[in-house]
Amino acid sequence: MNDAQINQTTAESLSAAQNPKVREKRPIDILRERHGGMSPEMKEYYKEQTRIKQLLKEALARGAKTVPELARECGLEPSVTMWNLMAMRRYGKVVEEELRGEYYAYRLKEVK
């Protein structure tokens, strides 16, 4: 951190202390200013991951499906489908239901 950044941060802290209407900057806001926020590529990546997760949730809401069935229904590559499905499984969003041929069927976990 250079002297100008230190002076700016100190001035912002003082102005927030003197005037309660001025919001003190949160550490995350300061980091975003210093590093320029997220790159457009990262924003696009997270946007795509959110879209994929939503597609899988919508498909599984209609019933249990295997990875190939999900991939076909969602228009995704089987490897992408498997990777996202395993992440959802790891975090307790989906569960294995039954073995259908060579593949397990997955369904959304019921919320109690």
Cβ neighbours, 10 Å, residue 23: 10
> Is 40-108 a CATH 3.40.50.2300 domain?
no
> pLDDT of 54-89, one tens digit each?
999 999 999 999 999 999 999 999 999 999 999 999
pLDDT of residue 105: 96
Tokens of 63: 């019933």
pLDDT of residue 71: 97
Query: Among candidates 52, 96, 101, 54, which has minimal Cα distance to 78?
Result: 52
> pLDDT of 5-55, one tens digit each?
555 655 555 554 565 566 788 888 888 888 887 888 999 999 999 999 999
Sketch the domain layout of the chain as residue ranges. Answer: 3-35, 40-108
